[in-house]
C-alpha cells in the first residue's frame, strides 16, 4: 500500500521539487526579520532588500514549477494506472544463501538508491572524522568503503583496495602537509609524526 | 608601433635564459596540476609559490608566477573534459561539450581543442592588453555604479540562456545561486545574514568549494548508482591522432565564436569582481544564443568548447589591464600578483608604464611565452591524460573527491570549506535528480555579491530612485537589451511548448 502511494507521489517530481523549494524559501523568508540593519535604512535599501527580492521571485518560480508539474504528473499517473496489476506488483527478490555480510552486500549491489545513500554517508563521515582521526586515516577509510561500493561485484578485490586507500590517502597527506605546506588535520597522527 | 616592438624585443631578451625557461616550465607544470585537481586553483598555486620568488630577480619571479597563473586557468579543462568535474570555476562550461565529446571516444580531440583555444584566448587578451590597455583602463575607471549594474544585470539575465529545456527550472536554479550567495556578510554594511545561529555561516560559503562541490559529489554519487554516462568504458584507441584535433575548415568556422568569446572574456577580465568563473559561462551562453544550431550544444560540439576555453583564458589578459595600468586587482590571482610586484619594489599604475616600459613589456612577453609553453606542455601531456581514463572509475572517482577535499580545505585552512563542498554537492545532486541544470546556479552564485553591491550603491547614489537607472545611458542600454533578450527567449519557449502540444 505504502509502496503504491510512494509510486504515485513519484509521478509528480516537479511538484515535489517545487514544494521543497517553496518550503525552503519560506524558512529563509522568516529569517529576513533577523537580519540587522541600520534603523535609518528601515524604509530603504538595506541588507534585507536584495534577499527579499530574490526570495519573492523564487517563491513565484516555485509556484510556477508546481503548477506546470501537475499536468505532466497526471499523465505519468495515468500511465502507471494503465499498467497491468501483474506488472505493477513487485517481483520477489531471490535472496542469496550465506552469512549476513553476503546478504547485506547483495542488497547494496542490487539497489542503486542504497548505494548512493551509503556513498553520501561515507563522504559525510569522512569529513566528520577528518579532525578527530586526521585527514590521512579518515581519507583511507573513506576510500576503502567507496572503492568497495563502486566496484562491480564480480571484480571486488578488497585487499588491493585497502592498499590503494592507505597509499593514496597517506601519500596525499604527506605531500600536501610537508611539500606544499597545507596544514591538513593530523588527528591521531600528531602523536606519531 | 615600432617602439612597442622594440620594447617587446627587449622583454623577450630579458626572459630568454635557461634558468627562466626552466622556471616557466616548472610553473606551467605546477599550475596545470593545480588547475586540473578540482578544488585547487590559480590563487592557491601562486600564493604557495610566492615565497620562492623573494630571492629571485624580477624577471624570473614574473615568468614563474605568470606561468602558474596561465597554467592553472587552463589546467581546469583536463578534469572538466575527462571526468565531467571542472578543475576550477573557470572550466564549468567546458564540461558541457567537453565531456560529451570525450564520451563519444574523442577525448584527445576535446583536449586538443581546449588547449589550442586556451592559448589563442590568452594571446588575444595579451594583444588587447598591449595595444588598448591605457584606453580601456580609462574607460573602466569612468564606469559608474549604474553602468556596472547594467552590465551585471545583462550578465545575470544570461541565466535564461543556460536554462535548458525548462525556463522556469533554469531561472529558479539561477535565483537559488543568488540566494545562496546572500548567506554570510552583507556587502556595504557588513551585517551577517541567514546564519541560522551557526558561526561559520556568518562568513558565507567560499566560492571555489561551492562551485566544485556542486559537480564533484553529484558525479561520485551518480557513479555509485552505476549511471551509464559516468561508468561506460569508452574505447579511445580508435581515435584519429591529429596535431590540433581539428581541421583548418573547422578553425575558420569557429572564428566568429572565438572572437565573440575572446571579447567577452577580456571584457569580463577588465571589470573587477567578476572574473573567469563567470566569463566561461557567459561566453558559452552568448555563443549558444547566436548559434544557428543551439539545440546541438551539450552534445559534444566544438563551439561550446571554443567558447568556454577562449573566454576563460582571455580573462587573464583582461584582468591584467586594471592591475598593470591602474594597480587595481580584479580577482584573487591578480591580488597575489600585485603583492608579488610590490615585493619586488614596484607599484603598478600609469607611472610604471611611463617610467619602466621595458619591465611592463617583459611581463607581456612572459605571458606570451607562458601561453606557448602551455600548449607544448599540455599537448605533450594529452596521451598521459587520456591514459588516466583507463584507471577504473571506481578507483578514480573517490580519489578525485579526496583531492577536492584537500583543495577545499586549503582555500582557507578550515573544515568548514570541506563541509561547503559537501553541502554544495548535495544541492548539485538534488538538482541533477530533479532535472534542474547546474550552470545557472554557478552564474547566479558568482554574480550575486557584486550585483547586490552595485545595486545598493546605485540606490544610495540616486536616493532610492529607480528612474536614476534609466538616466545613465550605458545602464539604460543594457537594461533595454536585457528586457528585449528575455522577451525573445520567453517567446521562443512559449512557441516551442505550443508546438509540442
- Tell me the nearest-neighbour CA distance from A162 into chain B, angstroms: 11
Q: What angle do CA B15, B21, B26 make, to 5 degrees?
A: 130
Residues of chain A in contact with residue B194, where contact means CB-CB under 8 angstroms, are 28, 31, 35, 51
Q: Has residue B451 got a pLDDT over 70?
A: yes
Q: Which one, of B229, B227, B238, B245, lies nearest residue B103 by Cα?
A: B229
B172 interfaces chain A, CB cutoff of 8 Å? yes
Q: Which whole number is the average pLDDT over A145-153?
A: 83
Whether residue B38 contacts residue B79, with contact meaning beta carbons closer than 8 Å, is answered with yes
- Tell me the nearest-neighbour CA distance from B374 into chain A, angstroms: 22
Nearest to B175 among A54, A147, A168 (CB): A54
A39 interfaces chain B, CB cutoff of 8 Å? no
Phi-psi region of A35 (alpha: psi -120 to 50; beta: other; left: phi over 0): beta
Query: How many Cβ pairs closer than 8 A exist between chain A and B?
Result: 156
Question: Strand, coil or helix: what is B192?
Answer: strand
C-alpha cell at B62: 614574473
Q: Measured between alpha carbons, how far is B141 from B163 in angstroms, rounded to an integer?
A: 33
Higher pLDDT residue, A77 or B121?
B121
B391 interfaces chain A, CB cutoff of 8 Å? no
Q: Which whole number is the average pLDDT over B367-382?
A: 89
Confidence category of residue B237, pLDDT binned at 50, 70, 90 = low
How confident is the model over A97-136, as pLDDT tens digits? 667 777 777 777 777 888 888 889 999 999 999 999 999 9
Residues of chain A in contact with residue B171, where contact means CB-CB under 8 angstroms, are 61
The dihedrals phi and psi of B60, each to the nearest 5 degrees, come to -65, -40
Are B172 and A126 in contact (CB < 8 Å)? no
Residues of chain B in contact with residue A19, where contact means CB-CB under 8 angstroms, are none
Q: Which whole number is the average pLDDT over B236-253?
A: 75
Cα dihedral B372, B31, B315, B80 in deg (nearest 10): 100
Residues of chain A in contact with residue B220, where contact means CB-CB under 8 angstroms, are 119, 123, 146
Name the packing angle between helices B145-157 and B473-500 (round to 10°): 10
Q: Measured between alpha carbons, how far is A126 from A142 in angstroms, rounded to an integer?
A: 6
- Tell me the nearest-neighbour CA distance from A118 into chain B, angstroms: 9
* The residue to which cell 568549494 is assigned: B209
Residues of chain B in contact with residue A55, where contact means CB-CB under 8 angstroms, are 179
How confident is the model over A10-49, as pLDDT tens digits? 788 889 999 999 999 999 999 988 888 776 655 567 888 8
Distances (CA, A) of B123 to B262, B287, B319, B324: 10, 20, 13, 17
Residues 449-488 of B with CB under 8 A from A: 451-452, 455-456, 459-460, 464
Q: Has residue B48 got a pLDDT over 90?
A: no
The dihedrals phi and psi of B193, each to the nearest 5 degrees, come to -130, 145
Residues of chain B in contact with residue A45, where contact means CB-CB under 8 angstroms, are 455-456, 459-460, 464
In this predicted complex, what is the ipTM?
Answer: 0.87
Q: Measured between alpha carbons, how far is A33 from B193 in angstroms, rounded to an integer?
A: 10
Average pLDDT, chain A: 83
Q: Has residue B227 got a pLDDT over 50?
A: no
Mutant choice from A28, A43, A108, A116 vs B, greatest count of B C-beta within 10 A: A116
Residues 153-192 of A with CB under 8 A from B: 164, 168-169, 172, 176, 180-185
Confidence category of residue B426, pLDDT binned at 50, 70, 90 = very high
Residues of chain A in contact with residue B461, where contact means CB-CB under 8 angstroms, are none
Nearest chain B residue to A67 by CA distance is B168
Are A31 and B196 in contact (CB < 8 Å)? yes
Q: Measured between alpha carbons, how far is A165 from A178 in angstroms, rounded to an integer?
A: 20
* CA atoms within 13 A of residue B188's CA, in its CB half-sphere: 23
Q: Measured between alpha carbons, how far is B53 from B61 in angstroms, rounded to an integer?
A: 5
Nearest to A127 among B175, B398, B422 (CB): B422
Nearest chain B residue to A123 by CA distance is B422
Q: What angle do CA B177, B70, B204 make, to 5 degrees?
A: 25
Whether residue B287 contacts residue B80, with contact meaning beta carbons closer than 8 Å, is answered with no
Burial class, B285, CB count within 10 angstroms (exposed 0-12 / middle 13-18 / buried 19+)? buried
Q: Measured between alpha carbons, how far is A176 from A171 in angstroms, rounded to an integer?
A: 9
Q: How far is CA A48 from the centre of its chain?
A: 30
Confidence category of residue B230, pLDDT binned at 50, 70, 90 = very low
How confident is the model over B124-134, as pLDDT tens digits? 998 888 888 76
Q: Has residue A51 got a pLDDT over 90?
A: yes
Average pLDDT, chain B: 84
What is the model's pTM? 0.81
B179 interfaces chain A, CB cutoff of 8 Å? yes
Q: Which whole number is the average pLDDT over B49-66?
A: 84
| Per-residue pLDDT at B454 | 87
Q: Has residue A93 got a pLDDT over 70?
A: no
Amino acid at each position: 500500500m505504502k509502496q503504491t502511494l510512494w509510486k504515485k507521489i513519484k509521478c509528480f517530481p516537479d511538484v515535489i521539487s517545487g514544494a521543497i523549494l517553496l518550503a525552503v524559501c519560506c524558512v529563509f523568508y522568516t529569517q529576513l526579520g533577523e537580519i540587522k540593519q541600520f534603523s535609518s535604512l528601515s524604509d530603504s535599501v538595506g541588507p534585507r532588500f536584495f534577499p527579499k527580492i530574490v526570495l519573492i521571485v523564487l517563491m513565484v518560480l516555485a509556484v510556477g514549477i508546481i503548477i506546470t508539474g501537475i499536468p505532466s504528473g497526471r499523465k505519468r499517473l495515468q500511465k502507471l494506472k494503465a499498467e497491468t496489476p501483474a506488472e505493477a506488483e513487485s517481483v520477489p527478490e531471490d535472496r542469496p544463501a550465506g552469512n549476513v555480510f553476503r546478504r547485506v552486500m547483495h542488497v547494496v549491489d542490487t539497489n542503486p538508491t542504497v548505494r548512493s545513500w551509503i556513498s553520501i554517508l561515507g563522504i559525510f563521515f569522512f569529513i566528520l572524522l577528518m579532525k578527530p582521526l586526521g585527514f590521512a586515516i579518515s581519507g583511507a577509510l573513506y576510500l576503502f568503503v567507496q572503492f568497495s561500493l563502486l566496484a562491480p561485484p564480480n571484480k571486488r578485490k578488497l585487499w588491493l583496495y585497502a592498499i590503494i586507500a592507505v597509499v593514496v590517502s597517506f601519500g596525499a597527506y604527506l605531500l600536501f602537509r610537508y611539500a606544499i605546506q597545507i596544514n591538513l588535520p593530523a588527528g591521531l597522527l600528531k602523536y606519531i609524526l | 608601433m615600432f617602439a612597442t616592438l622594440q620594447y617587446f624585443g627587449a622583454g623577450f631578451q630579458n626572459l630568454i635564459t635557461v634558468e627562466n625557461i626552466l622556471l616557466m616550465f616548472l610553473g606551467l607544470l605546477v599550475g596545470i596540476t593545480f588547475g586540473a585537481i578540482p578544488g585547487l586553483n590559480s590563487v592557491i598555486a601562486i600564493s604557495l609559490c610566492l615565497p620562492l620568488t623573494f630571492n629571485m630577480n624580477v624577471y624570473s619571479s614574473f615568468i614563474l608566477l605568470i606561468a602558474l597563473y596561465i597554467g592553472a586557468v587552463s589546467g581546469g579543462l583536463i578534469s572538466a573534459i575527462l571526468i565531467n568535474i571542472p578543475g576550477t570555476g573557470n572550466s564549468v562550461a567546458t564540461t558541457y561539450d567537453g565531456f560529451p565529446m570525450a564520451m563519444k571516444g574523442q577525448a584527445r580531440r576535446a583536449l586538443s581543442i581546449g588547449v589550442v583555444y586556451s592559448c589563442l584566448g590568452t594571446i588575444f587578451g595579451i594583444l588587447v592588453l598591449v595595444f588598448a590597455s591605457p584606453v580601456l583602463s580609462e574607460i573602466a575607471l569612468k564606469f559608474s555604479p549604474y553602468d556596472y549594474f547594467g552590465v551585471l544585470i545583462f550578465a545575470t539575465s544570461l541565466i535564461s540562456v543556460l536554462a535548458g529545456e525548462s525556463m522556469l527550472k533554469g531561472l529558479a536554479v539561477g535565483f537559488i545561486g543568488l540566494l545562496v550567495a546572500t548567506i554570510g556578510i552583507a556587502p556595504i554594511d557588513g551585517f551577517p545574514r541567514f546564519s541560522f545561529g551557526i558561526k561559520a555561516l556568518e562568513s558565507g560559503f567560499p566560492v571555489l568549494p561551492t562551485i566544485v562541490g556542486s559537480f564533484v559529489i553529484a558525479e561520485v554519487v551518480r557513479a555509485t548508482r552505476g549511471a551509464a554516462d559516468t561508468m561506460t568504458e569508452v574505447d579511445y584507441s580508435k581515435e584519429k591522432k591529429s596535431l590540433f584535433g581539428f581541421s583548418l575548415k573547422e578553425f575558420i568556422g569557429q572564428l566568429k565564436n572565438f572572437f565573440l568569446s575572446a571579447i567577452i572574456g577580456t571584457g569580463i577580465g577588465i571589470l573587477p569582481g567578476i572574473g573567469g568563473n563567470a566569463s566561461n559561462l557567459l561566453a558559452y551562453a552568448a555563443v549558444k544564443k547566436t548559434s544557428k544550431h543551439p539545440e546541438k550544444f551539450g552534445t559534444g560540439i566544438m563551439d561550446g568548447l571554443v567558447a568556454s576555453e577562449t573566454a576563460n583564458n582571455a580573462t587573464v589578459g583582461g584582468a591584467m589591464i586594471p592591475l598593470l595600468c591602474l594597480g587595481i586587482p580584479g580577482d584573487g590571482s591578480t591580488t597575489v600578483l600585485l603583492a608579488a610586484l610590490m615585493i619586488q619594489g614596484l607599484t603598478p599604475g600609469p607611472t610604471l608604464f611611463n617610467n619602466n616600459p621595458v619591465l611592463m613589456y617583459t611581463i607581456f612577453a612572459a605571458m606570451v611565452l607562458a601561453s606557448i609553453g602551455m600548449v607544448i606542455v599540455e599537448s605533450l601531456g594529452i596521451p598521459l591524460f587520456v591514459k588516466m581514463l583507463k584507471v577504473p572509475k571506481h578507483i578514480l572517482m573517490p580519489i578525485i573527491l579526496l583531492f577536492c577535499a584537500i583543495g577545499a580545505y586549503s582555500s582557507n585552512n578550515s573544515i568548514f570549506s570541506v563541509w561547503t563542498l559537501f553541502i554544495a554537492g548535495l544541492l548539485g545532486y538534488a538538482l541533477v535528480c530533479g532535472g534542474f541544470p547546474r550552470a545557472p546556479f554557478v552564474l547566479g552564485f558568482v554574480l550575486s555579491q557584486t550585483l547586490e553591491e552595485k545595486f545598493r550603491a546605485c540606490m544610495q547614489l540616486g536616493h532610492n530612485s529607480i528612474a536614476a537607472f534609466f538616466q545613465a545611458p550605458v545602464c539604460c542600454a543594457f537594461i533595454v537589451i536585457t528586457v528585449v533578450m528575455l522577451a525573445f527567449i520567453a517567446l521562443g519557449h512559449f512557441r516551442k511548448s505550443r508546438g509540442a502540444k
